[in-house]
Amino acid sequence: MDYKFITDSNVVERIVKRELKNGREGFVFDKYGITIYYTVKCLHCGRYFTANELRVAKDNPGEYAVLCKYAPECDGNIEDMIPITELAY
């Protein structure tokens, strides 16, 4: 797929938080909107990284896809991201 990655880190952070909050169970947010489970595992490639390393690509106009840190090498998207606690990690 031909991704158009968003490079503005403020935009990336906002979209990642919004999408994790709305679309994924297990991610817990405090009153500041920061996820408590900061480390994620990509089920697609099996690698661990922090939520702020997720990549965001523009899909259709006005729509964004949250992708694995290792996109486009890895096809993992937000559905493949599971939260890992410090203890579990």
Binding of Zn ion by 76 (CB under 5 A)? yes
CB 20 within 8 A of CB 78: yes
Binding of Zn ion by 78 (CB under 5 A)? no
What is the contact mask toward Zn ion in residues 48 to 67, using x (rule: CB under 5 A)? --------------------
Q: Which of 14, 24, 44, 58 binds Zn ion (CB under 5 A)?
A: 44
Compare residues 30 and 51 and give the one whose CB is closer to Zn ion.
51
Binding of Zn ion by 42 (CB under 5 A)? yes
> What's the rounded Cα separation, in Å, for the pair 41 and 50?
8
Residue 45, token pair as written in the block: 């490639």
CB of 20 to Zn ion, least distance (A): 15
> What's the rounded Cα separation, in Å, for the pair 80 and 61?
23
Residue 28, token pair as written in the block: 């817990």
Compare residues 14 and 44 and give the one whose CB is closer to Zn ion.
44
**What SS3 class is residue 86?**
coil
